[in-house]
């Protein structure tokens, strides 16, 4: 099985959007850069807003990026770095 690197910057908007437009399963670190203007919100599994402060990051293993939704201040970004391995 061939593995691929996942390395992207995702601009956030005021409406929720997925981290990938298509199903993309991988193990990644998702981070909110310290240069963002405010907190970024992820949609929780129950539909609630989960706030991530600037300069925070978390590791996720074998997740589908198309199922992770994010919103925030226009001009802010999320970085996603990892790969399609385990």
pLDDT at site 82: 97
Taking only the tens place, the pLDDT of each residue in 29-41 is 999 999 999 999 9
The domain tally of the chain equals: 1
Closest CA to 58 of 48, 70, 46, 76: 70
Q: How far is CA 57 from CA 22, 28, 34, 86, in A?
A: 23, 10, 10, 19
> What CATH code is carried by the domain that includes residue 65?
2.60.120.10
Residues in a beta bridge with 10: 78
Q: What range does the domain containing 39 cover?
A: 5-83
pTM over 0.85: yes
pLDDT at site 8: 97
Taking only the tens place, the pLDDT of each residue in 40-83 is 999 999 999 999 999 999 999 999 999 999 999 999 999 999 99
């Amino acid at each position: 099985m061939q593995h691929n690197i996942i390395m992207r910057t995702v601009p956030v908007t005021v409406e929720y959007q997925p981290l990938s437009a298509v199903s993309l399963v991988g193990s990644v670190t998702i981070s909110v850069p310290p240069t963002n203007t405010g907190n970024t919100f992820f949609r929780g599994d129950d539909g609630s807003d989960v706030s991530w402060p600037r300069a925070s990051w978390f590791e996720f293993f074998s997740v589908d990026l198309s199922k992770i939704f994010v919103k925030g201040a226009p001009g802010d970004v999320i970085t996603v770095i990892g790969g399609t391995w385990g």
